[in-house]
Structure 1
Amino acid sequence: MGEDLSGHHADRIQAAIASDAAAKSALVASWRRSSNLHRLDPADCRSPRYLTETELGQARQRIEPLVRAAQSSLDRLYLAVGGVGCCVLLADRDGVPVERRGASVDDETFHSWGLWTGSVWNEQSEGTNGIGTCLVEQRALTIHRDQHFHTRNTGLSCTTAPIYDHQGDLVAALDVSSCRADLTEAFANLISLAVIDAARRIEAENFKMAFPTARILLASVADKGSGALIAVDGDDLVVGATRSARLALGITQQCLDKPMPAADLLGWTVPEVLAEAERGVLQRALARADGNVSAAAQALGISRATLHRKLSRLDVHRSH
């Protein structure tokens, strides 16, 4: 029966590849890459390849800052999906999980499926699968059961989202996988929302860690949940931008290589920005002086009368 299932799945894939469906279906296009480009056989029953401990250590080291930034988001995601028999994997850009969350009672099962650190899940090795196909297509997706290329992986349901670093480059994939037969495609779609949200949180945390002395601003763009963040230095010059911000605001690396005022990028008018900056300076001085105008003026190196005029002009309300 196992051979019949294997043959049926392989026949179905080969028929789809031979048709013109690849032009219309991203899934069939991935099957075609797996077969024609990577020369894989859907009936191949070999287990996934594993890196050596040394190779895994080197892979992890290459994205160590991201792994650190991801810890709390991985924990939170596992709390959300672990109870329904899922594991959480953070894979590098080569499709190798370097960090994992899973219930110990499921360890033996997940290890036998290759859902473990050090396994290789790129498309070149495993054909169509959540991690590998996500990295190729650079988009969040779910590969549910018989959508996998290899017959031996058709018991899995894998939901994956790409992760970009502080320079906007693809560096990792976040995956939630299950081998439970009762995990429906509809439930996998709910998991997808949690995976995408966790991926954005990891990107944001990694971005903040990459620019520890900068102010991090959320750019006002159409997609509020996109994670369009920019990093601004003490002179209000843009020093960094997430991939979402780069796409939404048209920021190129050349833009970031030379100082760019945040006001110009965000479309603020300069007089308004200067007024806001001056207002902020005055309010901070007053706060430090506990509302005492004379003390605030002295701290700013200006006369009390000058400070009064500025407060009036900028409509800064002060406590008496």
Structure 2
Amino acid sequence: MRPISHVDRVLDAAFSPSAAAHSRLAASWRRSAHKHGLDPASKRDVARVTQNCLKHRRASLDTFMTVAAPRLDSLYALVGQSGCGVFLSDAKGVILDQRLSDADAPTFDHWGLCNGADWSEAQEGTNGIGTCLTEGRRLIIHRDEHFFACNTGMSCIDAPIYGSDGTIVAALDVSSARADQTEAFNRLIAAQVAQTARAIEEAHFRATFPTARIVVAESEDAEAATLLAIDSDDLVVGATREARRVFGMESSAALTPRPAADILGREDGPTGFEKAERAAVVRAIARADGNISQAARQLGIGRATLYRRMKRLGLNET
């Protein structure tokens, strides 16, 4: 009996009425065939944007690219010696930056893994970058899990990177063309890819809110960045995607500023102006090392007035 070919296996799953419901991979194959009209047997060249278009795409993500660069270097230092390349795409699947050895460059370029190449699912079917962006999740597309038969020599490990508005801004990809790349090794790389994606997301978030106080919150997802940006008025003005989920805020787009106390659920106590006044008095006393006269001068009030306010706010001299 003749072994079933990759093309036949993909088409069988893509046209099966039930396969997509039971497998994310089959669902991606089905999108590739039905939604995008792709043929797994096709051997067409990978689509590439023009140099001007690539320059424009990079410029639109200038800050992001700046904070991502050293973290791409660190990731490549870990995986480069094993024949892997590191690639960063934008949210549309166009590769903007890469790290790879001179020896591996011809192989990756032959396969279309290079700056300016469009690896969206609409162009290349099921693949690491495109499917990661489509499904918004970390994944591994190992060899014959690719849609196109011509891509089955690759292993691709990817993680999405979210911007400060909660939407996907990029995909981080580590790809290998080595025939001996195992699924177990892929899982080890996947952990490092996820960690690097988080580091880039955190650095970009901090760069987006350079004057804000950044609060790191807890989440059950250890590989997600859970950060809040709080301004000088104690308003939450920014939140990462995971922080938005944890605190029940809008999942994407501009964040409606709201008091940090409302978000963080602080204990009951003084509210409104009374709470702000209490905080100001406590800070002044702390700065004065408990010297009430000095604290009063910092606040621009008399010593007796400060004592009266302390009594009203429930504060004693200690």
Aligned-pair CA distance for 1:136: 0.8
The percentage of aligned residue pairs carrying the same residue is: 47
Q: By percentage of residues, which structure has more helix?
A: 1
- Residues 285, 300 of structure 1: 8 Å contact kept: no
Shift of 1:83: 1.8
Q: Quote the residue 2:107 is aligned against.
A: 109
- Give the superposition deviation at 1:269: 3.0
Q: CA deviation at 1:299?
A: 2.1
- Structure 1 residue 254: Cα displacement: 9.8
Residues 235 and 270 (structure 1), Cα distance of their counterparts in 2 relative to 1, 3 Å cut: farther
**Superposed displacement of residue 275, structure 1:** 6.6
1:115-154 → structure 2 map (5 Å cutoff): 115-154=113-152
Residue 15 of structure 2 corresponds to: 18
Aligned residue for 1:298? 297
2:209 aligned partner: 211
* Larger mean Cα displacement after TM superposition, 36-45 or 85-94: 36-45
Instruction: Report the 3-state secondary structure (helix = DSSP H, G, I; strand = E; otherwise coil) of the residue aligned with 2:5.
Output: helix
The more displaced of 304-313 and 211-220 is 304-313
| Corresponding position: 1:88 with 2:99 | no
Normalising by structure 1, report the TM-score.
0.86
Instruction: Give 1:139 shift.
Output: 0.7
Equivalent residues of 2:46, 2:112 under 8 A apart: yes
Number of residues paired by the alignment? 312
Residues 185-209 of structure 1, C-alpha deviation per residue, up to 9 Å, x if partnerless?
1111111111111111111111111
Residue aligning to 1:60: 58
Correspondence 1:1-320 to 2 at 5 A: 8-19=5-16, 20-252=18-250, 258-271=256-269, 278=278, 282-283=282-283, 286-287=286-287, 294-303=293-302, 306=306
Distance 1:134 1:45 in 2: 22
SS in 1 for 2:186: helix
Change in 2 beyond 3 A, CA 1:207/1:151: same
- Coordinate RMSD, CA, aligned: 2.9
**Distance change (3 Å), C-alpha of 1:258 and 1:180:** closer
Q: Decide whether aligned partners of structure 1 residues 43 and 310 sit closer, same or farther in structure 2, where only a CA change above 3 A counts.
A: same
- What 5-or-longer segments of structure 2 have no aligned partner? none
* Amino acid in structure 2 at the alignment position of 1:295: Q
1: CA distance between counterparts of 2:314 and 2:253? 35
Counterpart Cα distance in 2 of 1:228 and 1:315: 37
Write the distance in 2 (CA, Å) between the matches of 1:314 and 1:223.
40
> Does 219-228 or 235-244 show the bigger shift?
219-228
The answer for unaligned runs of 5 or more in structure 1 is none
Contact 1:208 1:216 in 2 (8 A): yes
* Compared CA separation, residues 314 and 61, structure 1 to 2 (3 A): same
Q: Distance in 2 between matches of 1:69 and 1:254?
A: 22
Report the Cα distance in structure 2 between the residues aligned to 1:189 and 1:316, rounded to whole angstroms: 58
CA distance 1:255–1:189, change in 2 (3 Å): closer
User: TM-score, normalization: structure 2?
Assistant: 0.87
Give, in whole Å, the separation in 2 of the partners of 1:127 and 1:95.
12
